[in-house]
Structure 1
Amino acid sequence: MPVFHFDFDQIKIKSKYRELLRQQSACEMQTLEARGDMILQIEGHADERGSDEYNVASDTPANAIANSIMAYLTNPELTQIISYGEEFPLVPQSNKNAWARNRRVEFTLLLK
């Protein structure tokens, strides 16, 4: 799955990602369920702006992505959502470009 980026203070999935999510989710989730030994970890990241509490709030881009993916899973226990907030920036600088790249959702496959 690709990295998904979000606008500041938004949880809406950008239109360019919606179709990609639809195309890849069905195949990826079927493979995940068929294997049975893995979990998809959905990791939300924020930029440095906002309080720590705000940046790891439950209403996050990671949840928006997870909700879309759940439509393709019969077993929701095959996913887990983690909101890291600003803890792991992709770009350590403090400017608009860095903030935009740091607001993202990434995916990691974990063995059960």
Structure 2
Amino acid sequence: MLQLFDFDYIWEVYKPAPQRRWGYYALPIFYRDRFVARIDSRLEKGTWTIANWWWEQDITPDATLLAALARASSRFLHYLHAQEIVVNEIIDSPTRQALLAGARTALVE
């Protein structure tokens, strides 16, 4: 991923906790033609918990990107067959609200 996309990524699930930079199960987020963020989330007993979200340093999310995030979170919640979403309050407000807005759409359907 580093050579193709200039995106430094290592799946840290097998690293000891003190050696993790991003989180136990942090995954990359791809938008259009590049990786724009990382998410650390879990699905447990029907609840999708988003523990953390990191935008890449050179990304400033605009309304278009946040709307795409809302649509993606709606589809992903549906894919997971989750009945609930929990988004950690440490996540920046615009991102948190986009994730929750998408989830509300999915949960109503």
TM above 0.5, one fold? Answer: no
Q: Which has the higher strand share?
A: 2
- TM-score (norm: length of structure 2): 0.32
TM-score (norm 1): 0.31
